[in-house]
């Protein structure tokens, strides 16, 4: 019930089970990273402060090579420590800092740092004279076609480029902090900036996962900071006047307009607030009072005493562990973005039963096969790819579940479709008929994950697998059928999976409407994305079977293929042996014959 592992030419061995990938016709892992300017494009990042570190993390996550220019003598340490903070919340998934650092260069000389770079993203302090000298140096040393981008939060491109031969080359790419999490980047050109250059800049930012918004007229502090400043002004006033505490004001925002603004902006919110008359009705009803409030805004005084009082209250309210606060913020923002992306991808016709349209997933950075162990006290992370109909994947999954109960192991579950792996292959009609019945369960898993997140995959797989493979399950007659009746028995069993899946959905509390995904091929792209998420070591290793396991982000390994479920200490010993082999870069393949003709799945 699985595909074969990669075979050396001329050495094809059929594993236990029934569905085998033909030799030489393999599924290639997808490109794991966006490459907006070519293979391993070099981006020069000037400055390694908070914003610079966020850009460095994002560019590395998207498959680029980063050359860091910083005057700090300890720049390498600063970047390494910054990546350690940012790595868990990278868009492509948690990454190993050592692997990321392999793609970072450090060059203290600015001219040498930008030489040969396709993109320059500068993050120097917002000092106009400093920026002018900086861009004069960059223009002289960087390639003529390089994008020259500034993270400034308030300076205009015409002013920064005043000493350049071509001042129109400077374009503002102002991120919101932290750049590797918050999608927005404000793109601002100057009077002499060609429209084609703005298009090129926005295309680059989109390619690395940002959402660029072009500011059509250059205004100081651009758009987002002006909005944020208006809210901060009123917030400071309310706290200083004793209307609310700082914690209470933050609760007002996060529990009301903050939630609303994550889904609709202020104009759409008030358009909805006007009911049938929309924004026109809302503004017409409140305009007189609103105009009076706008004419007399509260302007708080930020004297040194006021700043100290506000700072002290912030310390008491939120604490001063800024690294922990940043991690918590980034994790929550990523969760919001993931949830919104799933909702935005739903087709309108399926929203009533909470079923979602599949969406493309960002691909992680390719890891080395030899991955470092987790930090002391942290569990090993096992990513496990399975097809719920494969009995050998079921056996291995029950083994790793047993291990997780006895050793520091966390398992993350991912669907892998045998029907997809074998689609388009020449095979006997009877086998093709059987394969066509394999689509249903994995499509339901894909739909459930898209609508309800990764956490439902493991419980739903267990609920399905128990009904398929446990004693008295749907496929028990298949294991006892004579060889000449095996295929007919298998097809008959596959035709009876729907009631088992319906029962599994009910057991896990998932919507019954997800069963409709069985016959909906729109979920096949979601399955392709799940296949592509298997880490590759970049050495031409091709993935073609279930089960597939990745340990601590290392390259995916086909197997182990087991014929019974190891329990207790035996399970742990096998885990330690497997982990040792899977992590050794010299390990290629281990096979042996088995005396058991059918898997013992319980």
- DSSP letters spanning 491-506: HHHHTTHHHHHHHHHH
Higher local confidence (pLDDT), 2 or 509: 509
Lowest pLDDT segment from 6-15, 222-231, 477-486, 517-526: 6-15
**Residue 554 to residue 533: CA distance in whole angstroms:** 12
Lowest pLDDT segment from 173-187, 379-393, 532-546: 532-546
* 184 pLDDT above the threshold of 60: yes
pLDDT of residue 586: 74
Structure tokens at 12: 């094809």
pLDDT of residue 591: 67
Of these ranges, 131-145, 383-397, 432-446, the one predicted with the greatest mean pLDDT is 131-145
* Phi, psi (degrees; rounded to nearest 5) at 121: -115, 105
**Residue 183 to residue 99: CA distance in whole angstroms:** 24
The residues of the chain that CATH labels 1.10.1040.10 are 225-320
The model's pLDDT over 541-580, given as tens digits with 9 standing for 90+, comes to: 344 688 999 888 877 888 888 888 999 899 999 999 998 8
pLDDT of residue 16: 32
**Residue 71 to residue 48: CA distance in whole angstroms:** 9
**Residue 59 to residue 572: CA distance in whole angstroms:** 39
Q: Which CATH number fits domain 225-320: 1.20.1260.10, 1.10.238.10, 1.10.1040.10, 3.20.20.70?
A: 1.10.1040.10
156 touches 220 (CB < 8 A): yes
**Residue 137 to residue 592: CA distance in whole angstroms:** 64
The model's pLDDT over 220-258, given as tens digits with 9 standing for 90+, comes to: 889 999 999 999 999 999 999 999 999 999 999 988 888
The model's pLDDT over 281-308, given as tens digits with 9 standing for 90+, comes to: 766 766 566 667 676 666 667 678 877 8
pLDDT of residue 101: 94
392 touches 599 (CB < 8 A): yes
Topology of domain 42-222, CATH? Rossmann fold (3.40.50)
The model's pLDDT over 1-15, given as tens digits with 9 standing for 90+, comes to: 333 332 222 222 233
Q: Of 442, 463, 452, which is closest to residue 530 (Cα–Cα)? A: 442
Q: Residue 49 — very low, low, confident or very high, per pLDDT cuts 50/70/90?
A: very high
551 touches 582 (CB < 8 A): yes
* 33 pLDDT above the threshold of 60: no
For domain 380-582, the question of CATH label 3.40.30.10 is answered with yes
* 377 pLDDT above the threshold of 70: no
The residues of the chain that CATH labels 3.40.30.10 are 380-582
**Residue 182 to residue 151: CA distance in whole angstroms:** 14
pLDDT of residue 602: 63
pLDDT of residue 362: 42
Average pLDDT over residues 273-278: 74
- Would the pTM of this model clear 0.75, i.e. be above it? no
pLDDT of residue 288: 62
Average pLDDT over residues 328-348: 67
The model's pLDDT over 434-465, given as tens digits with 9 standing for 90+, comes to: 888 889 999 999 999 988 888 899 999 999 99
* 48 pLDDT above the threshold of 90: yes
The residues of the chain that CATH labels 3.40.50.720 are 42-222
CA distances from 209 to 24, 92, 117, 203, 531 (A): 35, 10, 20, 10, 21
> Which H, E and C letters describe 151-177, residue by residue?
CCCCCCHHHHCCCCCCHHHEEEEEECC
pLDDT of residue 533: 81
Task: Give the β-pairing of 147-150 and 409-415.
Answer: unpaired
Strand order in the sheet with 548-551: 409-415, 380-386, 548-551, 557-558
């Amino acid at each position: 019930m699985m595909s074969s592992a990669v075979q050396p030419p001329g050495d094809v061995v059929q594993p236990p089970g029934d569905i085998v990938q033909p030799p030489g016709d393999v599924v290639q892992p997808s490109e794991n990273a966006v490459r907006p300017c070519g293979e391993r494009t070099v981006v020069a990042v000037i400055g390694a402060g908070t914003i610079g570190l966020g850009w460095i993390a994002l560019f590395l996550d998207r498959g680029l090579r980063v050359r860091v220019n910083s005057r700090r003598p300890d720049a390498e340490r600063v970047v390494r420590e910054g990546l350690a903070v940012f790595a868990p919340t990278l868009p492509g998934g948690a990454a190993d800092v050592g692997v990321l650092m392999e793609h970072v260069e450090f060059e203290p000389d600015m001219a040498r740092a930008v030489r040969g770079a396709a993109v320059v993203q500068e993050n120097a302090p917002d000092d106009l004279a400093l920026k002018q000298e900086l861009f004069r140096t960059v223009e002289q040393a960087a390639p003529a076609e390089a994008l020259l981008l500034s993270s400034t939060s308030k300076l205009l491109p015409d002013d920064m480029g005043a000493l350049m031969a071509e001042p129109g080359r400077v374009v503002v790419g102002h991120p919101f902090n932290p750049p590797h999490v918050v999608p927005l980047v404000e793109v601002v050109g100057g009077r002499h900036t060609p429209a084609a250059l703005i298009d090129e800049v926005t295309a680059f930012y989109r390619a690395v996962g940002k959402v660029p918004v072009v500011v059509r007229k250059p205004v100081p502090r651009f758009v987002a900071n002006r909005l944020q400043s208006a809210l901060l002004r009123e917030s400071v006033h309310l706290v200083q006047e004793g209307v609310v505490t700082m914690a209470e004001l933050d609760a007002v925002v996060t529990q009301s307009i903050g939630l609303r603004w994550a889904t609709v902006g202020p104009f759409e919110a008030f358009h909805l607030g006007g009911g049938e008359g929309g924004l026109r009705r809302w503004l017409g009803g409140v305009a007189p009072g609103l105009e009076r409030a706008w004419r007399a805004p509260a302007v708080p005084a930020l004297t040194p005493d006021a700043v100290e009082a506000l700072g002290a209250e912030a310390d008491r309210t939120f604490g001063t562990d800024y690294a922990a606060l940043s991690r918590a913020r980034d994790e929550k923002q990523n969760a919001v973005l993931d949830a919104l992306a799933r909702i935005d991808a739903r087709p309108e016709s399926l929203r009533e039963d909470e079923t979602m349209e599949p969406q493309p997933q960002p691909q992680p950075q390719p890891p080395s096969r030899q991955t470092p162990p987790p930090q002391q006290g942290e569990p090993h992370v096992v990513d496990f790819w399975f097809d719920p109909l494969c009995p050998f994947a079921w056996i291995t999954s029950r083994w790793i579940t047993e291990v997780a109960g006895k050793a520091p192991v966390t398992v993350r579950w991912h669907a892998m479709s045998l029907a997809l792996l074998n689609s388009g292959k020449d095979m006997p009609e009877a086998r093709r008929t059987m394969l066509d019945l394999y689509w249903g369960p994995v499509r339901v898993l894909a739909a459930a994950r898209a609508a309800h997140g990764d956490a439902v995959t493991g419980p739903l797989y267990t609920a399905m697998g128990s009904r398929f493979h446990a004693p008295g399950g749907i496929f028990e007659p298949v294991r006892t059928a004579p060889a000449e009746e095996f295929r007919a028995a298998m097809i008959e069993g596959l035709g009876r999976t729907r009631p088992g899946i319906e029962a599994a959905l009910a057991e896990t509390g998932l919507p019954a409407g997800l069963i409709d995904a069985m016959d909906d091929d729109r979920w096949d792209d979601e399955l392709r994305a799940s296949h592509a998420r298997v880490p590759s070591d970049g050495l031409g290793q091709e993935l073609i079977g279930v089960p597939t396991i990745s340990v601590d982000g290392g390259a995916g390994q086909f197997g182990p293929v087991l014929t019974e479920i190891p329990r207790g200490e035996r399970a742990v010993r096998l885990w330690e042996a497997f982990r040792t082999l899977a992590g050794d870069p010299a390990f290629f393949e281990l096979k042996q014959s088995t005396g058991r003709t059918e898997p013992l799945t319980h």
